[in-house]
Structure 1
């Protein structure tokens, strides 16, 4: 699997878990001290943007999930 495909899948996982928690992008962004635009880019199915591992840990914590779920592509 190419890195861009992994980036896209991580973003889609974030969107999936955010929607499960019924959070808007703006609400999640506020919880992790990012802008809504940054969350939008991270979640983009085009793989427009990626973020640091530290930010992924913060997002996973805000979504109340184990970070490993973001990387479970099966």
Structure 2
């Protein structure tokens, strides 16, 4: 779902390399090297928005999608 949005140029994301490795090799996605990134494993995901404005439809959808994923998936 997120990958599809990124491929359409509608979003950006930090994704685990094993998930998108073939897309990077095919030059469909760009890999950005961070000096602070120590591994391909992410410890968590932060979703941030301002208190002065309610997230729009897309923001609410992403929040609900992330909250509906079992914690076991993130630990796996």
- Structure of higher RCO (CA pairs closer than 8 Å, 6+ residues apart): 1
- TM-score relative to the length of structure 1: 0.26
